[in-house]
Structure 1
């Protein structure tokens, strides 16, 4: 496995640990939802963006994480070599960055306020509007969306 793919898995794993802790603290009800969102949302979001960036590098064929700068989005990736087309997986992510759960993940300011451009869209099966504050269910949907997309793309790439 490429080091960049390993870094993506590691960041996603760490995000899931945070989400487990967040869920446990929600069930204990010792802290307000606002306090838990303030504590867990920025860190969870950053780990998901980190996982996404490393996965993008893996899709771009960049295997050594030590020699790469982790991108924030598909725009930050190096252009394909002359005569080579953009991979379908990267093109799919570029489209997802324009709307839906991935656009919301990348555009959010990390402070619990919904992104301005996330107006009413589906997030991993959840309906999210621009009036719904970000919280645990939305971040879980981001994590599930990223994990499912990464797994699907891995399966597709391994068939080639």
Structure 2
């Protein structure tokens, strides 16, 4: 069984706390772009995956970042982190979507950034990307109780 461990902390803080764990499918493959940056309203939101390719049994690391504009304080209602994809099992395509919400009701002072480090542990028996499924890691911020920017990035699980 695969577990995504979401860790949350401020960019300037060396201290991080565990905020959620997601149990993920044993048959994971990842495809997609490595990096995607989106600006929504006056906020900047970024999701970056450190590794474009990973082997089964290894971990993939990513960060979701939300930056508040200089113009004033905002409230980060939460960030939703999700692993989404399509998997072919027993000859049929199935949608996959596993989510966790982090950083609830967090104050964003003007000009400051909030960072959510993400670690996804890939199981030893993960199905390789070349075998057909598509997967992506997605993050969406809800700021001042309104859906705001989102970003999506992916990676591949590769063999020896």
Please indicate, yes or no, whether the TM-score normalized by the shorter chain is above 0.5. no
Give TM-score, length-normalised by structure 1: 0.28
Query: Higher relative contact order by CA 8 Å / sep ≥ 6: 1 or 2?
Result: 2
Give TM-score, length-normalised by structure 2: 0.28
Return the structure number with greater helix share: 1
Return the structure number with greater strand share: 2
